[in-house]
């Protein structure tokens, strides 16, 4: 009987295996490693195929595909965003992804990406803050204490060197969960009753809330000179977090403008509102922070290259480990033209 040949088995990293991998590497080392991998790929940005993600919207959320390729390796992520999900005990964001070999089109990795998305989003935020936030940044306000919040906090500690995180969420239970989870990780944790309280003394302000509307998590008078804003939650048409007046005062840095103008905070601004592509700051083609009073804003929406980098990191990290399962997901008969024969013989 013709069996699928060994070469067609695809390494699959399950949720359980991803969690074991994180413990094996150590979460802060993994966040640093992901930030370095994303930085390396951002530095070769022009090499990649780029397209705004393909989104299917509904009244309650969005389901998206995020593809890219560097010419040798192709990757995509499936991801959803459903702000109402948590009320029913479900995650707002879930994801999985795949890498394949451009030369053959054969998949080389299949992986859970719900946890990996939280890690790569946090690593990207921290990479950007390492470059744009004031060099003296030690305190971060974390507004929105849901699924992403601990990852964001630990990445800012591991990559930027913050030592205090000031938590605020409209749901005190979320703040309590985040504070408890962060205990023992070497951060001073301050629970705050308002967003205004959370941003007191913070050099970095992260907004990471979920609501499918034009929300105003930060008003103009809340944002003082010299801060870095890491705006994570506004990542969909009709879903923003910042008052437009803040965008007018800030220098705005984005991943891929064609996607961010559809999904990011800047959907509230004119189509030609000036923005800087962050990869150009890394290569020296554009300037980042130029003075201490400047407000820098990372209008994060999440771009396919970050997922590609994260999947490549995992592909390399699982080599020589048992943190994956070989998956029989490709029909690959010994005689490539005898697909039907293989099916028939299986009977």
Secondary structure tally for the chain: helices H, strands E = 11, 17
Nearer to ligand NAD, 24 or 57 (CB): 57
- The H or E element containing residue 76 is strand 73-81
Q: Residue 268 is encoded by which pair of tokens?
A: 């509230």
Closest CA to 227 of 294, 174, 142: 294
Q: Residue 214 is encoded by which pair of tokens?
A: 């034009």
CB of 255 to ligand NAD, least distance (A): 8
- Whole-angstrom CA distances from 274 to 58, 68, 91 are 30, 25, 34
CB of 238 to ligand NAD, least distance (A): 12
CB of 265 to ligand NAD, least distance (A): 11
Q: Of the residues 70, 235, 307, 332, which is catalytic?
A: 235
What residues contact residue 302 under an 8 Å CB cut-off, 6+ apart?
66, 79, 117, 121, 124, 235, 255
- Phi, psi values for residue 345, rounded to 5°: -65, -30
Closest CA to 169 of 147, 195, 187, 148: 195
Cα(256)–Cα(38) distance, rounded to whole angstroms? 14
Give one DSSP letter per residue of 116-141, joined into a string. HHHHHHHHHHHHHHHHHS-TT--EEE
Cβ-in-10-Å burial (0-12, 13-18, 19+) of 297 comes to: buried
CB of 102 to ligand NAD, least distance (A): 25
Q: Which residue is nearest to ligand NAD (CB)?
A: 146
Nearer to ligand NAD, 14 or 86 (CB): 86
What residues contact residue 17 under an 8 Å CB cut-off, 6+ apart?
318, 323, 324, 325
Active site (annotated) includes residue 235: yes
CB of 80 to ligand NAD, least distance (A): 9
CB of 235 to ligand NAD, least distance (A): 4
Nearer to ligand NAD, 209 or 324 (CB): 209
Q: Strands 62-69, 54-57: parallel, antiparallel or unpaired by DSSP?
A: antiparallel
CB of 307 to ligand NAD, least distance (A): 9
Nearer to ligand NAD, 203 or 300 (CB): 300
Nearer to ligand NAD, 298 or 324 (CB): 298
Nearer to ligand NAD, 10 or 311 (CB): 311
Query: What residues make contact with ligand NAD under the rule CB under 6 A?
Result: 81, 86, 92-93, 117, 121, 143-148, 168-171, 174, 208-211, 215, 217, 232-233, 235, 300-302
Nearer to ligand NAD, 240 or 276 (CB): 240
Q: Kindly list the catalytic residues.
A: 235
């Amino acid at each position: 009987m013709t069996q699928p040949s060994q070469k067609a088995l695809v390494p699959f990293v399950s949720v359980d295996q991803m969690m074991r991998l994180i413990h094996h590497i150590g979460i802060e080392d993994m966040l640093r490693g992901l930030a370095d991998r994303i930085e390396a790929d951002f530095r070769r940005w022009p090499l990649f195929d780029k397209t705004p993600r393909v989104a299917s919207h509904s009244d309650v959320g969005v389901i998206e595909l995020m593809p890219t390729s560097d010419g040798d390796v192709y990757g995509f992520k499936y991801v959803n965003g459903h702000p109402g999900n948590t009320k029913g005990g479900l995650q707002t964001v879930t994801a999985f992804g795949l890498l394949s070999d451009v030369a053959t089109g054969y998949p080389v990795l299949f992986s859970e990406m719900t946890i990996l998305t939280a890690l790569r989003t946090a690593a990207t935020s921290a990479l950007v803050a390492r470059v744009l936030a004031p060099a003296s940044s030690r305190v971060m306000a974390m507004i929105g204490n849901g699924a992403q919040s601990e990852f964001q906090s630990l990445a800012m500690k591991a990559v930027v060197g913050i030592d205090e995180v000031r938590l605020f969420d409209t749901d005190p239970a979320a703040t309590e969960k985040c504070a408890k989870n962060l205990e023992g990780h070497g951060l001073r944790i301050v629970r705050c009753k308002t967003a205004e309280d959370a941003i007191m003394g913070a050099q970095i302000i992260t907004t990471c809330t979920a609501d499918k509307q034009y929300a105003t998590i930060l008003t103009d008078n809340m944002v003082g000179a010299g801060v870095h804003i890491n705006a994570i939650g506004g990542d969909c048409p009709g879903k923003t977090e910042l008052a437009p007046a803040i965008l007018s005062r800030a220098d705005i840095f984005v991943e891929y403008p064609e996607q961010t103008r559809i999904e990011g905070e800047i959907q509230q601004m004119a189509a030609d509102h000036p923005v800087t592509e962050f990869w150009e700051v890394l290569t020296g083609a554009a300037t980042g922070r130029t003075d201490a009073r400047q407000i820098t804003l990372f209008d994060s929406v999440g771009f396919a290259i970050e997922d590609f980098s994260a999947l490549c990191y995992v592909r390399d990290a699982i080599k020589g480990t048992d943190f994956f399962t070989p998956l029989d997901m490709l029909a690959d008969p010994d005689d490539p033209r005898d697909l039907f024969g293989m099916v028939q013989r299986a009977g």
